[in-house]
Amino acid sequence: MFPESIQNAIILYFKQQGEREVEIISASPVSGGSINDAFRIKTSLGQFFVKYNDASRYPEMFEKESRGLQLLRDSNSISIPDILTAGEAGSYAFLLLEFIEPAREADHFWQNFGKNLAAMHSHKAEKFGLDHDNYMGSLYQYNNFHDNWTEFFIVERLERQVKMAREDGSIGRVDITGFERLYKRLDEIFPSSEPSLIHGDLWSGNFMTDRQGNACLIDPAVYYGHPEIDIAMSTLFGGFNQKFYDAYNNHNPLEKGWEIRLDIYNLYPLMVHVNLFGGGYLGSVQKIVRKF
Ligand code: ADP
């Protein structure tokens, strides 16, 4: 059931936007999410997408998601749903977005996706990180600023996940030693780069097809990082069409050796999975750590 308190909060939101009588006609569950409950609501103003959770469960998750989506939208490079509001209603927190109607992919879907993502990555910042922390899935993601990419990736990404896994006993001494050995090599493995605007969680469940038939990004874990992070994640659970990589490379040529680096970047989402879902993902982590 779609909570009444959220319905009322949505009606109030529209009133504050100057709409007079707004009626919620129906609400039907949307499947596919792993963290929150999601609904498609039909209203007298049209359809919208709402996801919600207990407000205390993941503090400020939707404000952060909304800020991340807004940053991606502001880059004017790739399709992102309209963001209406992130709010609270009773004990719930919710996010209200444009509803992306399932649509067919346009002829040049993958080429456009590659080109648009490259355009998004062309938005640069002075430092790696972001002016606020956010979430990667349901895990807190720290975005403290660093001048150096290798340092950022070790301190804000791997070390934090390794610490969490060590504290709850998912990994042991041998694994930690493997990570420490890897950290020492990262400077020579990673190319230098400018901080780029990245989605941060770009697996195949985090894009949809918009009305124009183009890829529309959802559910980001935004920060300014190395563009190869998004490329790496796109290969993690299935991989995107080759046309995507070709188009991306045409617009933002990946530096030599990028294929080799992808595994290292994917240690981060894999460790997030170890921390969320346990040991099943540890084998993949160990294999990568051993390789380097
Ligand atoms: P969670 O935060 O629980 O991971 P998601 O943001 O992944 O939730 O959304 C859950 C599902 O809802 C997605 O897999 C997608 O199918 C669908 N979805 C997400 N955003 C929209 C949207 N703006 N319009 C329509 N459907 C959406």
Q: Where are the domains of the chain?
A: 4-98, 109-291
Question: How does DSSP assign 238-252, residue by residue?
Answer: S---HHHHHHHHHHS
Pocket test for ligand 1, best of 51, 66, 72, 276 (most atoms within 8 A of CB): 51
Q: Is residue 279 scored above 80 in pLDDT? A: no
Cα–Cα distance for residue pair 236/220, rounded to 1 Å: 16
Ligand 1, atom 26: nearest CA belongs to which residue? 100
Predicted pLDDT at 33: 83
Beta bridge partners of 128: 146
At 279 the three-state DSSP class reads helix
SS3 content of the chain, % helix, strand, coil (to 5): 45, 20, 35
Cα–Cα distance for residue pair 276/287, rounded to 1 Å: 19
Cα–Cα distance for residue pair 65/80, rounded to 1 Å: 12
Ligand 1, atom 19: nearest CA belongs to which residue? 218
- Measure CA of the first residue to CA of the last residue in the chain; give whole Å: 49
pLDDT tens-place string over residues 204-261: 999 999 999 999 999 999 999 999 999 999 999 888 999 999 999 999 999 999 999 9
103 lines ligand 1 (CB under 6 A): no
Q: Six-digit token pair at 232?
A: 């790496």
- 63 burial (CB, 10 Å; 0-12 / 13-18 / 19+) is middle
213 lines ligand 1 (CB under 6 A): no
At 16 the three-state DSSP class reads helix
Cα–Cα distance for residue pair 182/205, rounded to 1 Å: 29
Whether 230 is catalytic is no
> Which DSSP symbol is given to 234?
H
- CB burial of 192-221 (b: ≥16 within 10 Å; e: otherwise) equals eeebbbbbbbbbeebbbbbeeebbbbbbbb
- Helix (DSSP H) and strand (DSSP E) numbers for the chain: 11, 11
Question: Which CATH fold topology does 109-291 show?
Answer: Aminoglycoside 3'-phosphotransferase; Chain: A, domain 2 (3.90.1200)
Cα–Cα distance for residue pair 112/116, rounded to 1 Å: 6
Ligand 1, atom 20: nearest CA belongs to which residue? 218
pLDDT tens-place string over residues 7-28: 999 999 999 999 888 999 999 9
In angstroms, the Cα distances linking 102 to 86, 97, 105, 125, 214 are 23, 15, 10, 34, 11
Predicted pLDDT at 8: 96
pLDDT tens-place string over residues 73-118: 999 999 999 999 999 999 999 999 999 998 999 999 999 999 999 9
Mean pLDDT, the chain, whole residue set: 96
Say if domain 4-98 classifies as CATH 1.20.1280.290.
Answer: no
pLDDT tens-place string over residues 128-169: 999 999 999 999 999 999 999 999 999 999 999 999 999 999
Alpha helices (H) along 46-203? 61-74, 109-121, 149-152, 159-167, 173-189
Mean pLDDT of 40-55: 97
**Ligand 1 closest atom vs CA 34:** 3
Q: Is residue 192 scored above 80 in pLDDT? A: yes
38 lines ligand 1 (CB under 6 A): yes
Predicted pLDDT at 267: 98
Cα–Cα distance for residue pair 215/229, rounded to 1 Å: 18
Predicted pLDDT at 47: 97
At 274 the three-state DSSP class reads helix
